[in-house]
Amino acid sequence: MGKRRIVVQGDDRLSKRCRQVTDFNRRLHILLDDMKETLEEAQGAGLAAPQVGILRRAVIVVDDSEEMLELVNPEILDQSGEQTAPEGCLSVPGKWGMVTRPYYAKIRAQDRDGNWFLLEREGLTARCLFHEIEHLDGHLYVEHIDHFMTDEELEEYYAEEEGR
Ligand code: ZN
């Protein structure tokens, strides 16, 4: 199929709880490949199946090494610490908000063939994993913010980051 259309905030499918993946078949492989292509084209850091209108528990996250991780039926086993940074979402285009999330994530998930694996990540990749997994329960990052950041606030944040 190739690139799929990304649904945006306001679409019902973004507020639904997604179902477990039970068939690790060709259809799932095509979905995952399409999600990767869609994510690459959109130059995002992560994408969840509901964002392409499929209510199944599957996400793609770009790792520190630019590798795309595929997680099917992901479960958060452990989390710790805290990090606060601007966050955006391909389903909420052009907007940013300050979100606080755990710094560390320990996750269990299945690969495209149904094999379980463990994943430990911190920092930006952990942030992205929490963001994408939340999508599977019908939640968007905007629920964690009190306002969208202005251009000035964004510039200020990045100027301070660079000064460190
Ligand atoms: Zn998102």
**Structure-token pair, residue 49:** 């199946």
Assess whether pLDDT exceeds 80 at residue 1.
no
Q: How many CA atoms lie within 13 A of 135 on its CB side?
A: 35
Percentage of the chain beyond pLDDT 70 is: 99
Indicate the average pLDDT of the chain: 96
User: How much is the pLDDT for 138?
Assistant: 98
Assess whether pLDDT exceeds 80 at residue 68.
yes
For the segment 90-127, what is each residue's pLDDT rounded down to a tens digit? Answer: 999 999 999 999 999 999 999 999 999 999 999 999 99
User: How much is the pLDDT for 87?
Assistant: 96
CA of 160 to the centre of ligand 1 (A): 25
Q: Which of 36, 40, 45 has its CA nearest to residue 124? A: 45
CA-based torsion, 147, 149, 153, 156: positive or negative: positive
For the segment 10-54, what is each residue's pLDDT rounded down to a tens digit? Answer: 999 999 999 999 999 999 999 999 999 999 999 999 999 999 999
CA of 86 to the centre of ligand 1 (A): 13
pTM of the model: 0.96
132 tagged catalytic: yes
Pick the catalytic residue from 40, 75, 82, 132.
Answer: 132
CA of 20 to the centre of ligand 1 (A): 19
CB atoms within 10 A of CB 86: 16
User: How much is the pLDDT for 109?
Assistant: 98
Q: How far apart are CA 21 and CA 139, in angstroms?
A: 19
Q: How far apart are CA 117 and CA 17, in angstroms?
A: 23
CA of 161 to the centre of ligand 1 (A): 23
For the segment 128-143, what is each residue's pLDDT rounded down to a tens digit? Answer: 999 999 999 999 999 9
Q: How far apart are CA 48 and CA 132, in angstroms?
A: 6
